[in-house]
Amino acid sequence: MQSVCPFCNFVIIDPENSFFCPNCGKQLKEKPITVLKQIGIYALSFFLPPLGLFPGIKYLFVKNTKVKIIGLVAIILTIISCALTVWATMGLIDSINQNLNTQLGPYQNIIK
Ligand SMILES: [Zn+2]
């Protein structure tokens, strides 16, 4: 498969693996995201929720479908992480309330 550089019309023999034009050096397509970077973005989304949104949204607007999916997963992980944080906080508040209730229990009976 051959393709032509949109900047200088140089024939690119292997466009699948060429990210830069060998003639003019312009970028032909987005560099693939390495697995390591992918894991980094996911970790960022999950452990530091607001920070993961920035690469997530950025990748969502990239034409490459694979990159788009990474962005989408990052955003979903951010949402899951936020939901888990809220859920954990609610559980904590609940258990504190229950502790207070059981501690107050005997006194409530005395007041009655
Ligand atoms: Zn070129």
- 54 versus 76: which is more confidently predicted? 76
For the chain, give the percent of residues with pLDDT over 70: 91
Helix (H, G, I), strand (E, B) or coil at 50: helix
Residues by chain with Cβ below 5 Å of ion ligand 1 = 5, 7-8, 10, 21, 23-24
Helix (H, G, I), strand (E, B) or coil at 41: helix
User: Given a cut of 60, is residue 111 above it in pLDDT?
Assistant: no
Measured in Å, residue 104 CA sits from the centre of ligand 1 at: 77
CA 5 → CA 12, 38, 65, 86, distances in Å?
7, 28, 21, 50
Helix %, strand %, coil % for the chain, to 5? 65, 5, 30
Type of residue at 92:
L
